[in-house]
A and B are shown apart, each in its own frame.
Chain A
Amino acid sequence: MGYKILLIATLTVLWLTLSGYFDKPLLLSLGVLSVFISIGVAWRMRILDNESVPYLRMFALLPYWGWLAIEIVKSSITISAVILRPDMVLTPRLIRVKTLPQSSFGRTLFANSITLTPGTVSIDIDDDEIIVHTLIKEMTAREDFAEMARRCAKAVGERHVSF
């Protein structure tokens, strides 16, 4: 029930943001109708759970996203410098990175964060290891991945002491 109300609220806000109509009765009632059709379909598909309605989690992720944005800026500048050098030197590697988060949501977040950071792309997941392709060997540092994994685990509410 909680997820249903949360989804109704989110879809309503989304509809109002995208349309911007507040005073057209016909369009508003069509909007309400479309929200309820969406809820009905989601309910019949039985996907109204924490995975498909992750909006409360998103707020917990905000500090993590801020940290990730800074990391993206730093590595974008590094990779841009590599690309712009006339005599380009690349040292591509395939490495295996241990994931710290155990839940599928946390692992997805970790793998996506690796991909979002320019210079590292997650290629495959193998048990609790992610195969990562890196463009230059300066980006293979274990500690950097370990810190990202730790922050991911913290952002999704998993706390581990060891790594």
Chain B
Amino acid sequence: MSEWLPDLELIRHIIAGSMMFTGAVFMLIGSLGVLRLPDFYARIHAAGITDTLATILLLGGMMVSSGFTQTTAKLALVGVFLFLTSPTATHAVANAAHKAGIKPRLGTIKSPHPRDIKED
């Protein structure tokens, strides 16, 4: 092949790698949110990021990296099943909390900047 043509295989792996990396970053952000957010209902939102965007990116990256194979078809199926079941599970948990009478904290919640917290 001619020298100046870009290496498609290399580009594919770069795309796959960056998608998976971004997905991993969003997983981290979601986990951080679960730790930082104040109450049950707020934490569901953080878990939602790991359920949706992070999963799309991770599965997408794996699909790009495996190309047109059976693995890609399986990954696509995993994606479809996750997208049908995860909101149902999230709703079941949130609804159970609501029925059990857990009251969400409403209004405005401010957490101070870490540098303003004085340690004793």
Contact = CB atoms under 8 A, between A and B. Distances in A.
B29 A84 contact: yes
Contacts, number: 125
Interface residues of B, number: 45
A16 to B, nearest CB: 9
A91 B52 CA distance: 22
Interface stretch (A25-33, A110-118, A144-152, A153-161): A110-118
A18 to B, nearest CB: 7
B67 interface: no
Contacts of B12: none
Nearest to B115: A86
B56 interface: yes
Interface in A46-68: 65
B38 A90 contact: yes
Classify the secondary structure of B's interface with A.
Answer: helix
Interface of B: 26, 29, 32-33, 36-38, 41-42, 44-46, 48-49, 51-53, 56, 70, 73-74, 77, 83, 86-88, 90-91, 94-95, 98-99, 104-116
30 contacts: A17-B77, A18-B74, A18-B77, A20-B70, A73-B56, A76-B53, A79-B33, A79-B45, A80-B26, A80-B33, A83-B29, A83-B37, A86-B115, A87-B113, A90-B42, A91-B109, A92-B105, A92-B107, A93-B106, A94-B104, A111-B87, A118-B46, A118-B49, A119-B45, A123-B91, A123-B95, A124-B95, A124-B98, A133-B41, A133-B44
Q: Top 4 A-B pairs ranked by shortest CB distance? A: A76-B53, A115-B87, A83-B33, A87-B113
Interface of A: 14, 17-18, 20, 65, 69, 72-73, 76, 79-80, 83-84, 86-94, 111-113, 115-124, 131, 133, 135
